[in-house]
Amino acid sequence: MEWEKVLRDAVSGNAIKELHLRKVPTLKTADDWNKVVEVGLVDHKTKYAHYKGGLVKYGDRLFFASQDRLDAVAQFRKWNFKAKIKVTDVA
């Protein structure tokens, strides 16, 4: 799919466009949570949604993991987000 190619490189310089953030799929489950790589934390509110959680890479794809999901998995895996992702091109 074309969006998968766009989203692979959506985060550049600790920033992501709001349009791309809305298209990022949510990571709900993973076969091995230790293979999930942290990209950065997001806390952004749009007109209809509040993105509070982290952007992660699983395999070669970019996903959004909600704060609730990160908290639930935290008892099994330590999260180490070093960057805060800024959302750009907000209308």
CA dihedral 49, 50, 53, 55 (to 10 degrees): 50
pLDDT in tens, the chain (91 residues): 577 777 777 888 899 999 899 999 999 999 999 999 999 999 999 888 999 999 999 998 999 999 999 999 999 999 999 999 999 976 6
pLDDT at 30: 93
For the record, the structure tokens of 48 come out as 């209809």
pLDDT of residue 10: 82
Instruction: Give the separation between CA 91 and CA 78, rounded to whole angstroms.
Output: 35
CA dist list (Å): 75 to 29, 42, 70? 15, 21, 9
User: Rounded to whole angstroms, how far apart are CA atoms 66 and 85?
Assistant: 14
**CA distances from residue 84 to 3, 16, 23, 43 in whole angstroms, order as listed:** 23, 11, 19, 9
Please report the pLDDT score of residue 5 as a whole number: 73
